[in-house]
Amino acid sequence: MLVLVICLIIFMTFVMEVGSIAFKLTGVEPSNARFQALSALTGTGFTTKDADIITKSKTRKKIAMILMVIGHIGLTVIVVFAVNLPQLISSWQLIIGTILCIVTYLFARNRVFVDKLDNQIESQLVKKLHFKKEPIEEVLLINDEYKVAEVRLETECSLINKSLASLHLTSKGILVLAVKGEDRVILTPKGKDIIRKGDTLTVYGKIKNIEEILCK
């Protein structure tokens, strides 16, 4: 019984990881995606802003609904089994359960394994479920034509390793408000600043221009 409970917890953790990657594919910030998945899975932790991020996208709503259903069923089963643990637990179950916990912890702490697992999950979501990777996260919709958005730049993006001045984005109706990378935050970007792989640009401009120019 103890082994089953631990396996269910491991499964729920895996589901949360899949959910967080699915959220990232829809444009949710990587730093926020895991929290959103955990909130949906447990049915707790949502703020008004978090709820808005989910409800304004049909794909995100579907992901959240699936996570909520799995979470409700999974947590119910875990609680039911956990209540009976004192009467049913045995020494061999305790040993196997401890081994499972240690092995799971070691794998979870291995960044190489986690990165490979995440990449595999992402490729399967794109391939099997036809997920489309969305680099744009809408921050503020001004009207039907203009918005403030965050654009995450991936490896294949044509803007990478170029200066803002060389991109001539202002002449194309796009104003770069900020640049955020792994080791830097530029709050007042200048023309000499170089765009790097993995950077997130906070931009203002026409919706059509942002989608056509920054996401190609």
Inter-residue contact 151 to 162 (CB < 8 Å) = no
Cα(first)–Cα(last) distance of the chain, in Å? 52
Q: What is the pTM of this model?
A: 0.62
Angle ∠(72,66,137) on CA atoms, nearest 5: 125
Average pLDDT over residues 189-215: 83
Q: What percentage of the chain carries pLDDT values higher than 90?
A: 1
Average pLDDT over residues 149-170: 82
- On the question of pLDDT at 126 being above 80, the answer is no
Under CATH, what is the fold of the domain 136-213? Alpha-Beta Plaits (3.30.70)
What the block records as the tokens of 141 is 């919709």
Inter-residue contact 71 to 12 (CB < 8 Å) = yes
- Per domain, the residue ranges of the chain are 2-128, 136-213
> Of 196, 212, 198, 208, which is closest to residue 164 (Cα–Cα)?
196
Among 44-48, 82-86, 133-137, which stretch is predicted with the lowest mean pLDDT? Answer: 133-137
Cα separation of 120 and 123, whole Å?
5
Tell me phi and psi for residue 112, to 5 degrees: -65, -45
- On the question of pLDDT at 133 being above 70, the answer is no
Q: Classify residue 185 as exposed, middle or buried by CB count within 10 Å of its CB (0-12, 13-18, 19+).
A: exposed
Among 93-102, 149-158, 190-199, which stretch is predicted with the lowest mean pLDDT? Answer: 149-158
Please tell me the predicted confidence (pLDDT) of residue 123: 83
Report the half-sphere exposure of 51 (CA within 13 A, side-chain side).
6
Residue bearing the bigger pLDDT, 144 or 138: 144
- On the question of pLDDT at 39 being above 80, the answer is yes
Rounded to the nearest angstrom, the gap between the alpha carbon of residue 193 and the centroid of all alpha carbons in its chain is 27
Average pLDDT over residues 130-138: 61
Inter-residue contact 165 to 142 (CB < 8 Å) = no
